[in-house]
Amino acid sequence: MAKPLKKLVSCVVLDLDGTLLNTDGVLSEVLKGILGKYGKEWDGREAQKTIGKTSLEAAAAIVEEYGLPCGNDEFLAELYPVFSAQLCNIKPLPGANRLLKHLSCHGVPMALASNSLRGSIESKISYQQGWKDYFSVIVGGDEVTAGKPSPEIFLEAAKRLNREPSSCLVIEDSIPGLTAGKAAGMEVVVVPSVPKQTDLYTPAADEVINSLLDLQPEKWGLPPFQDWIEGTLPTEPWYIGGPVIKGFGRGSKVLGIPTANLSTKGHSSLLSEHPLGVYFGWAGLSTRGVYKMVMSTGWNPYFNNTEKTIEPWLLHEFNEDFYGEELRLVIVGYIRPEVNFSSLESLIEKIHEDRRIAERALDLPLYSKYRDDPYLNSPLHSESNHS
């Protein structure tokens, strides 16, 4: 259940890039190509400086950081046509379609407010089915005198929605967006687009969530989602597999929970389509059978991992290790976001609660039908058909 009500709102104002669309994924690929021509390698180190900025500000940060032999306008002129050709490949972020459909179905007015140019915003959303109809108002960075962190873009959105700023809920991913929303006198929920940076947003934001899947609209007086089932959120099934690798040895030794880890190599694009957190589904071991499974993906903040991990826990008592054996996973639902814990005991308690939720849910017909998915017993070469 949601915590007590924070504040009543009557409309939602959303940022686009990094909040609803995974623009950064496509932009990174384009930047790799362009910087390569200058003998430079895009490593994402400027991501924090470009997120939430206007195109010109972002270009200036990259030109300066990489010492490029061109002006900001020249760099943008080179970038823009290549990036524009890739707009059709930008995917919605996890939970974006679900949220927009939900708010639209309940008649909640929505506005898009982005530092991007108005024409660019309209081009981007034209590739997303139904999105043009969701927003009664769109405000681009070229329609105001100053972009975020100035509050002007959000105040203009409220004005066009015919709402008081205090009745607007802003959903953002960046520091400039958060600053602008609060300066406009609005409630702001942040979904950080840069991992492990939550502490940067916590002081000013009204709430910081891991992904749009974790938004609880009822906290703000908006209609609640009705799609959670016994503590789980059904997802379109997704598939991942590979040989079982040795983890950090903590699962058994420290937690008493023997996980069968998979390498994240080759799975980065798949993982980017799903928020880091706790999931469940079915696990197939080529020589042993199919088992219930609960798994975490992410950084494991308690242990302060520096690399993402995929840690499935097969809910069965095995008498021996099976490192190197082929493990296939069909992930069918989401339980919760990745969170930090103040003690080992609270972490262990939560993991066992995850297990109880997964075991019970996997007996429901909605989820149990995937036990017979052919992927769980198929040879590895067929994996590309599912990813």
> Cα 374 vs. chain centroid, distance in angstroms?
28
CB 237 within 8 A of CB 257: no
- What is the full DSSP assignment across 166-197? GGEEEEESSHHHHHHHHHTT-EEEE--SSTT-
Considering Cα of 384, then 91, then 87, then 56, what sign does the dihedral take?
Answer: negative
- Catalytic option among 24, 187, 207, 311: 311
Angle CA 352–355–358, to nearest 5: 155
Q: How many Cα neighbours within 13 Å face the side chain of 19?
A: 27
- Residue 122 annotated to the active site: no
d(CA 166, CA 386): 45
User: Which amino acid, residue 267?
Assistant: H
- Residue 311 annotated to the active site: yes
β-strands 187-190, 110-113: how paired?
Answer: unpaired
SS3 state at 127? coil
CB 178 within 8 A of CB 63: no
- Residue 41 annotated to the active site: no
Closest residue by Cα to residue 386 from 333, 335, 329, 314: 329
End-to-end, the C-alpha distance of the chain in Å comes to 33
Q: What residue has token string 């021509």?
A: 37
Q: H or E segment at 50? A: helix 47-50
d(CA 264, CA 267): 5
Active site residues: 15, 17, 311
